[in-house]
Structure 1
Amino acid sequence: MPELAETLIVIDMQKALQYSYDFTGLVHKINHRIAAYRQANLPIIFIQHNDQDIVRGSDLWQLSGKLDKQKEDVVVEKFHPNAFYQTNLNKVLMQQGSRTIELCGAQTEYCCNASIVMAHGLGYKILMEHDMTTTFDNDYMIAENTISFFEHIWDQRFVTFQ
């Protein structure tokens, strides 16, 4: 069983992204991590994006109904790819005393990457498992290649993979 961080952060696992690469499989893997954090009585934070395309309160804005989100879990809303930018995420983590975080979610090259780079810059130790983010195919790469490409960039620079 991979090591647990002090807090699990689930980024943008919203209905708007349900057609991204292996979204259902990722929800299952995230729920497995959530179960481990719940068993260890460690906090889970859900990040929820909103902008002109994913409008707050709309159906696409809702977190996937298949995620094991409980009422005691913290939700941080954001409007920028970086989950720390003009949100209370850093304050919440500091109040919890968390210096080690585990990240997972969507979209690999946007919100996950921006949040990972910022968290690293703020001094957090970031743990991840491989293949715990998702994205869409783009004009340059299929989703699997985008995920591998970013994991290679993150590995030992920003993230400790386990």
Structure 2
Amino acid sequence: MSALEGRAGVALIVDVQNGVVDGVYRRDEVVANIVRLVDVARSQRLPVIWVQHDDDNLLRGSHDWEYVPELAALPAEPVVHKHYGDAFEGTALETILAARSVGHVLVAGAETDACIRSTLHGAFVRGYDVTLVADAHTAGDKIQWGAPPVEAVIAHTNRYWRFQRAQGKQGAVLAASEAVDWLNTVSR
């Protein structure tokens, strides 16, 4: 149903760097769910787009900047390098998705209350249907700075994203198992 005419394709956007997920809530479960999503997307020959953030706290080329060891981009899979939370902002992501006729993106990774939320909104305002994978995103504990507990941040994000609607586009939330089943029905 995407607002992007002629773009019925589906892609998986993954953002999971070592320094971002080190010590986060349910890290191993989230990464395992993302591994499953990547495997299914690849088996269905759907685009997997990798996102890597760098800034003063996440230096390009450092261990923290690298992807978690459980995940690696294949040589043909695009990697988007970003400097802002929204993976579309100041990057070639829109061009990459347009070249593949993508109008629906699934988003997974970290951090829920920063890069993931920004990319969800960035995709949505650009006309994409956007599915958040409910148990394939996570965040670190920020209670000391006044944030709610991580599990509440995740639950809230899943709850409100489920109801995102606008003319010609919609948000959705699926558990990883549901997303895997759905991806298995999508043909390229």
TM-score (normalizing by structure 2): 0.80
Q: Is residue 2:37 matched to residue 1:30?
A: no
CA distance in 1: counterparts of 2:142 and 2:56, whole angstroms: 21
Contact 1:104 1:132 in 2 (8 A): yes
Aligned twin of 2:167: none
Q: Is residue 2:53 matched to residue 1:49?
A: yes
Equivalent residues in 2 for 1:1-162, closer than 5 Å: 6-11=10-15, 13-17=16-20, 18-139=22-143, 140-157=147-164, 159-162=171-174
Q: Aligned partner of 2:173: which letter? A: F
CA distance in 2: counterparts of 1:116 and 1:29, whole angstroms: 18
Unaligned runs of 5+ in 2: 1-8, 165-169, 175-188
> Rg: which structure is higher?
2
Indicate the RMSD between aligned Cα atoms, in angstroms. 1.3
Q: Aligned partner of 1:90: which letter? A: E
**Could you tell me how far 1:136 is from its partner in structure 2?**
1.1
**Could you tell me how far 1:68 is from its partner in structure 2?**
4.4
- Secondary structure of 2:106's partner? strand
Q: Which runs of 4+ in 1 moved over 6 A?
A: none
Q: How many residues align?
A: 157
Contact 1:31 1:68 in 2 (8 A): no
Contact 1:21 1:134 in 2 (8 A): yes
Report sequence identity in percent. Answer: 25
**Could you tell me how far 1:51 is from its partner in structure 2?**
0.2
TM-score (normalizing by structure 1): 0.92
